Chains A and B, each alone.
Chain A
Amino acid sequence: MVAVNLWYHVGSKNERPGRTGFAHLFEHLMFEGSKHHDSGYFEPLQRAGGQLNGSTNTDRTNYWEVMPTGALELALFMESDRMGYLLPALTEEKFVNQRDVVLNERRQNYENRPYGLAGVALAAALFPPDHPYHWITIGDPDDLRAATLDDVRTFFETYYHPGNASLTLAGNIETARALDLAERYFGEIPRGPVPPPVHAGIPDMVEQCLWLEDRVELPRLYLGWHSPAMFHGGDADLDLSADVLAHGKTSRLYQRLVYERRVAADVSAYQHSRELSGVYQVACTAAAGVSLPVLEEAITEALAELAATGPTIDELARAQAQTEAQFVYRLQTVGGFGGKSDQLNAYNVFNRNPGFFDGDLARYRAVTPASMAAAVGQWLVGRPRVALSLVPRGQQQLALAGATEVSVS
């Protein structure tokens, strides 16, 4: 097998207010045919035994195929054709159809899913309206309905060309042949203009305490902070601190809240590092009959302790062992989301160094109890945060005191 993996350095961060959700809607149109093969992207590739997909997030859009070795050129033809020749095949009919599909996707995965709208409220609170992380990638339904074919053309010309793309091949192929084939299929496509830069970083924020109703049985507390951007100082420390706090039964918060006190049904924490700014989030679902202030107190206390005394040697070693194992597990697949080829592109696009695997691992190995304590102290303890109480309908009394209601759609 050979994996083809193509990243365009564009995501919902490149959208503008009023046209949110566009990068992802555009991704859908990439599967609807291009000039030299205008009858659906999937059919020839599936016929050849390939597997394929794509995804969009705030920072990038990726497309991939995993092909039997003999069908590699077919995938390169298809990928290059939609990079070079998408617009001649684009029609109003395809556009309207895929907009409907995306509206269904949004209703299915966000509106109709318990807790599904929390992410919308958190993004809007953590980042001001003019910041590109203010909206989530799926976008606002009204914005999706307002999108036009002209928007599609402009977007394509701005972002979909070799100058804004990164291609990786992995698996059963020699380097020289890979480079030849890349030249053969993509060499003829002109480099477009340099896309307009996105000027935004970690914004200022005031502390916010919000509540939101949803069709859920158990309330959940979300706490969110700004945190370092991807690969920046403190990123790896905070990533491992999330393991110490909430990964596995031995983690501090699971042990206290779920295992010993039994006031929570679950707890999670993660450092979501992205290009412009990270977000550190702790989420904790209350056990039946427990109100959210009980959880808030315990989480705040655990963070303060971690900043004051750091993790134990054992806690850090455990988090590092798990991280290192995950690095190795990811090497098992050549393609798909998170496989070798996707990983190479992540390093190439976000760090301009496709060979950053060892360097990335080294960041995690370099974390010490003192550096983790310092990062938690610098970014989380006493820093402005967003506290979102997501409560069952009609049970506002479970929210944190003084919370303001937010509305999302």
Chain B
Amino acid sequence: MSRLDRSKLPVPGPAGHFVFPRIERTRLPNGLDVRVVSHRSVPVAAMVLLVPGGSSADPSGQPGLASLIADLLDEGSRGMSALEVSDRIARIGGDLDVDVNHDSTIVSLTTLDRFLETGLELVHEISTAPNLTEADFGRVRQLRLERLRQLRDHPSALADRSFAKVLYQSHPYGQPGYGTAESLGAVDVDDVRAGHARMFQPNGATLVLAGDRPADQLLAAAASVFNSWKNDPSVEAAAKDLGRQPPPGHPATRLGLVARPGSAQSELRIGHVAASRATPDYHALILLNAVLGGQFVSRLNMNLREDKGYTYGVRTGFDLRRGLGPFVLQTSVGSDVTVPALRESLMELTDIRGSRPVTADELALARSSVSLGYPRGFETVQQVARSVAQLALHELPDSYFEEFVPALEAVTLQQVTAAATQYLDPDRMTAVVVGDPAKIGEGIGALGLGSPEPVIPPI
């Protein structure tokens, strides 16, 4: 072997061929949409039950209801106590997660292949037949109120909640999904039972199962457990897609300040209401975001971290939902550099729209980084099952994964700059700072966002 020439970097060879998950599906007589993926690597199975609604479906005045219901799912079902359910999950080495997001609620369980049937039965049981007793409700609500108290000390939680409130105000996306002390205090067990009945109906729900078996066996296993789930015609279906109501045109304030005296850092959020997952500019936004703040070598991170040393890291994202989700920049910076960090951030958000548009090389880097790295998202059964559930939530075709990279390749430089101009609006750009007002220093009122206004985080 010849001596290594270090004068230039090795040029990567062609990417290997990658076979994206092949989705097989059926619809059960009860309306449940079942999708399975045969993923033959390790004897592990992942199942995901997705029901529409999520926290944006919380009735007005009851923020936190969906997430309280989610907490109660594994607190006892079909007459078994919470301890018995927990014991059964542990015995199959199960990894259970119930996640309430803005537009949906997701129950997911990972287990070993030999426990696949038991896992399905558990997911079925806790989702469709939770006990929802008065006693369990009281206990779980107390725990949640305690966690809420603890969140008051977390700068990032204060920033996220305040930012959503400033941007969305009374829109469903402005409600704290975790609830507030007040809203949780006002909910009773009947609200929880009624809410559960609205949320968990087979018609409209999706079950995804990925595992180390042929697709037909996965389909049969899912059907045999979930066929018995019945729709309840006496229940009025959950209000659909409340998140798709138009959000307010302008934020409540352009510069919100959450005072946290003695804070060691300033926690920052910058952004505005931006786009929905259905936007035709989806792929352009992914590339724009990668250049701006979506990866380590992004403009913002190279500036704020690698050049200025203001932060451990900064990132941006378009949080695309069924309704209009926000564009958000998030970072934590030294208190004494709060103002310059805000100024540099705002500058980057503005410059990319025209005065310093995305260059051909930046676009090439972003494109190859995202597209060549895309297969990494399909390594584990959990990743596969969750990705397929997202297709269901956003009504995307089964061919979506295969079409992703070609769609990314088709985006032009002009489209990326046009997306920046359209989706990053300096006139609506809004900042929230959680920090020590005494240490933030002069000049915060001179950023073009007006004077800082106090914000009370909804907790």
In the complex, which residues of chain B have a beta carbon less than 8 angstroms from the beta carbon of A105? 312
CB distance B306 to A97 under 8 Å?
A: yes
Query: B305, A36: Cβ atoms under 8 Å?
Result: no
Residues of B within 8 A of A333 (CB): 379-380
**Tally of B interface residues using CB under 8 Å:** 72
CB of B93 within 8 A of CB of A321, answer yes
- Report how far A113 CA is from B296 CA in the complex, Å: 23
Q: Is the interface of A mostly helix, strand, loop or mixed?
A: helix
- Shortest distance between the CB of A361 and any CB in chain B (Å): 13
List residues 3-48 of chain B with CB under 8 A from any CB of chain A.
3-4, 6-7, 9-10, 12-16, 41-44
**Chain B interface secondary structure, helix, strand, loop or mixed?**
mixed
Say yes or no: B42 contacts A328, CB within 8 Å. Answer: yes
Give the residues from 100 to 124 in chain A that come closer than 8 angstroms, CB to CB, to chain B: 100-105, 107-109, 111-114
Nearest A residue (CB) for B365: A47
Given contacts A40-B297, A48-B372, A74-B10, contact A332 B41 (CB under 8 A): yes
Task: Enumerate chain B residues within 8 angstroms of A314, measured Cβ to Cβ.
Answer: 87
Q: By the criterion CB–CB under 8 Å, are A104 and B10 in contact?
A: no
Contact of A70 among B13, B43, B44 (CB under 8 A): B13
Of all chain A residues, the one with the shortest Cβ separation from B379 is A333
Contact assessment for A328 and B146 in the assembled complex, using a CB-CB cutoff below 8 Å: no
Give the complex CA separation of A72 and B263 in angstroms.
44
Min distance, Cβ A200 to any Cβ of chain B, angstroms: 30
| Cross-chain contact A36 with B7 (CB below 8 angstroms) | yes
From A5-13, A155-163, A214-222, A269-277, give the one contacting chain B: A214-222
Complex: A407 Cα to B3 Cα, angstroms: 56
A49 touches B44 (CB 8 A): no
Closest to A217 in B: B149
* 17 A-B pairs in the complex with CB atoms less than 8 angstroms apart: A35-B6, A37-B9, A44-B9, A46-B296, A46-B369, A47-B365, A68-B12, A74-B10, A111-B265, A216-B150, A218-B150, A321-B93, A325-B95, A325-B111, A328-B93, A332-B379, A332-B380
Q: What are the residues of chain A within 8 A of B380 when measuring CB–CB?
A: 329, 332-333
In this assembly, does A324 line the interface, its C-beta being within 8 Å of a C-beta of chain B? yes
Encode B70-103 as 1/0 by CB contact (under 8 A) with A: 0000000000001100110111111100000000
Q: Mark B41-64, 1 if CB is under 8 A from A, else 0.
A: 111100000000000000000000
Contact A318/B152 with A1-B376, A328-B44 known, Cβ cut-off 8 Å: no
Chain A: number of interface residues, binned into ranges: 35 or more
A305 located at the interface, meaning its Cβ lies under 8 Å from any Cβ of chain B in the complex: no
Chain A residues 311 to 327 lying within 8 A of chain B, measured CB to CB, are 314, 317-318, 321-322, 324-326
Shortest distance between the CB of A40 and any CB in chain B (Å): 7
Stretch from A180-188, A371-379, A380-388, A396-404 contacting the other chain: A180-188
Shortest CB-to-CB span from A329 to chain B, Å, is 6
B139 nearest in chain A by CB position: A262
B87 interface neighbour in A46, A81, A250, A329, Cβ under 8 Å: A250
CA distance A325 to B446 in the complex (A): 56
Decide: A218 near B376, CB < 8 A? Known: A70-B14, A317-B91, A332-B41: no
Complex-state Cα separation, A328 to B45, whole angstroms: 11
Residue pair A332, B153 in contact (C-beta under 8 Å): no
Complex Cα–Cα for A48 and B253 (A): 42
A269 to B15, CA, bound (A): 44
Q: Which residue of A lies closest to B144 (CB)?
A: A265
Asked if B410 is an interface residue, CB under 8 A from chain A, the answer is: no
Q: Determine whether A71 belongs to the interface, using a CB cutoff of 8 Å to chain B.
A: yes
Q: Is B264 close to A, CB under 8 A? A: yes
B309, CB-defined interface residue at 8 Å: yes
| Distance from B360 Cβ to chain A, minimum over Cβ atoms (Å) | 13
Q: Mark each residue of chain B from 105 to 127: 1 if its CB lies under 8 Å from any CB of chain A, else 0.
A: 00000111000000000000000
From B4, B142, B332, A185 is in contact (CB under 8 Å) with B4
Min CB gap A101→B, angstroms: 6
Q: Are A112 and B90 in contact (CB under 8 A)?
A: no
Q: Cβ of A104 and Cβ of B375 under 8 Å apart?
A: no
By a CB distance below 8 angstroms, the chain A residues around B15 are 49, 68-71
Q: Which residues of A contact B (CB under 8 A)?
A: 1, 35-37, 40, 42-44, 46-51, 66, 68-71, 73-74, 77-78, 81, 85, 96-105, 107-109, 111-114, 172, 180, 183-185, 188, 215-218, 248-250, 255, 258-259, 262, 265, 285, 287-288, 314, 317-318, 321-322, 324-326, 328-329, 331-334
Minimum CB distance partner of B373 in chain A: A49
Residue pair B155, A112 in contact (C-beta under 8 Å): yes
> In the bound complex, how far is the Cα of B111 from the Cα of A326, in angstroms?
9
Q: List chain A residues, Cβ under 8 A from B183.
A: none
A139 and B382 CA atoms in complex are apart in Å by 36
Q: Are A108 and B312 in contact (CB under 8 A)?
A: yes
5 pairs of A and B residues whose beta carbons are closest in the complex: A49-B372, A325-B93, A100-B309, A70-B13, A71-B12
Could you tell me if A47 and B368 are in contact, using CB atoms closer than 8 angstroms?
yes
Interface residues of B in 320-334 (CB under 8 A from A): 332-334
Residues of A within 8 A of B263 (CB): 112
Question: Which residues of the other chain, B, contact A77 by a CB distance below 8 angstroms?
Answer: 6, 9-10
Whether B186 is near chain A, meaning CB under 8 Å from some CB there, is no
Q: How far is the CA of A104 from the CA of B331 in the complex (A)?
A: 11
* Contact flag A216-B153 (CB < 8 Å), given A51-B373, A329-B110: yes
Q: Known A-B contacts: A44-B9, A321-B92. Give 20 more (CB < 8 A).
A: A48-B372, A49-B369, A49-B372, A66-B376, A68-B375, A71-B15, A96-B309, A104-B310, A104-B312, A107-B332, A108-B332, A112-B267, A215-B153, A216-B150, A218-B149, A218-B150, A258-B143, A321-B91, A325-B92, A332-B381
